[in-house]
Structures are given as C-alpha cells and as structure tokens.
Amino acid sequence: MSPDTPTGKLLIFTAPSGAGKTTIVRHLLKHFGQLAFSVSATNRPMRPGEEDGVAYYFLSDEEFADRIAAGDFVEYEEVYPGRFYGTLHAELHRLWAQDKVIVFDIEVKGATNLKKFYPEQSTAVFVAPPSPEILFQRLRDRNTESEADLKVRIERAEEELAYLNSFDRVLLNDDLDTALAQAEMLVREMLEV
C-alpha cells in the first residue's frame, strides 16, 4: 500500500491555541471507543510529564528534516519559528489497521493540508472561541510561556481566526458543556455514515 492510499475516516479538530480543541478531543476519545488519537511528530523539546509516542513523537531537528526529505509526512508545518509539527503516514496506517476513525487535534494550516489530502474521508471542525479577546485572555491565563512566546502565540491566533469559515463545521466553544454535547452529536453522525 502506498503512503497516500486512503483507507479510513478522519475527524480533524482545529483552532487557535487556547480555543479548547484539546479539551473537546480528550472528551470524545473517552466516550467513543471507535476513535483513536493521531499522535503528531514535533521537533520541540519534551515538556515535563510528556511521553514520547503519547503526547507527540519527539524528533531532533535532524530527524525531522530527514523524515521530510524521505516523504514520511502527510503534512507538516513550521508552526513557530524553528518548531515543526507534522502527521506521519505511518501513524495514519497504524490506526486505520485497527479500524479506528482517526481524530486530530491540530493547528489550522495542518488541518487545511489534511483536508486537501483526504477531502472525501475527512470532517474538519474549527473550534471557535467566543471572541478573540477571550481567546487572548485564556492564553495569558495559562502562564506557560514567556512574554515573547505569548506574543507569538497571540499573533498566530489572530491569523488562524481568519480561517474560521474554511472548514466543514464551526463549533463555538462559549459554554464547554454545550460544545461537548455538540461535538458528541457530530461524532455520532459521522459514525453512522
């Protein structure tokens, strides 16, 4: 089977950092056994509590570049200066071999590329914050980045919000319980098709 042979469904959740996509994806994975999480590869350093192959496949800069050159990625993106993230063909085939619907928690450009690569098999959902101001405040409240890194994240979030209507569905994360219920409904619809 060639790396680009489509074999299963994809459920892509995307949003600017801080919009709540990870919370929604984790909830869905707990409640639907048919779903499996696509672990992305990155060249960023591992954070405390993270595990290779669970949070991400952590690669060195050289390994990431070698995998790009070898054509191992379905998509990859330099999300922040010098920080790459991508989806490996091998990861998709590993999960499809288990008859899973693959769920992504991915940045906006990567989601766009996945949707282009698998247009018929994927449902792409943009998780929208109630407002840009609330999103930026959520990012500030995390206290996980330096001021300079936070500034880069906010600038990127502003850019990503412009993609709001580029996906199959928009899921407003104004009230978390409502957003989770709507996400569950979307998954049930997808699994019935």
User: What's the pLDDT tens digit per position in 74-100?
Assistant: 999 998 889 999 999 999 999 999 999
Domains annotated for the chain, with CATH where assigned, are 10-192 (3.40.50.300)
If you average pLDDT over residues 24-31, what whole number do you get? Answer: 97
Q: For tokens 């459920």, what's the residue?
A: 11
Whole-model pTM: value is: 0.85
Tell me the pLDDT tens digit for each residue of 56-77: 999 999 999 999 999 999 999 9
Question: Given a cut of 70, is residue 6 above it in pLDDT?
Answer: no
Tell me the pLDDT tens digit for each residue of 109-167: 889 999 999 999 999 999 998 888 888 787 777 777 778 877 877 888 888 888 888 99
Burial per residue of 114-147, b for 16 or more beta-carbon CB atoms within 10 angstroms, e otherwise: bbebbeebbbbbbbbbeeeeebbebbeeeeeeee
Spatial separation of the C-alpha atoms in residues 80 and 128, rounded to whole Å: 21
Give residues with Cβ within 8 angstroms of 169, minimum separation 6: 123, 124, 125, 126, 186
Which pLDDT score is estimated for 44? 94
CA 34 to chain centroid: 18
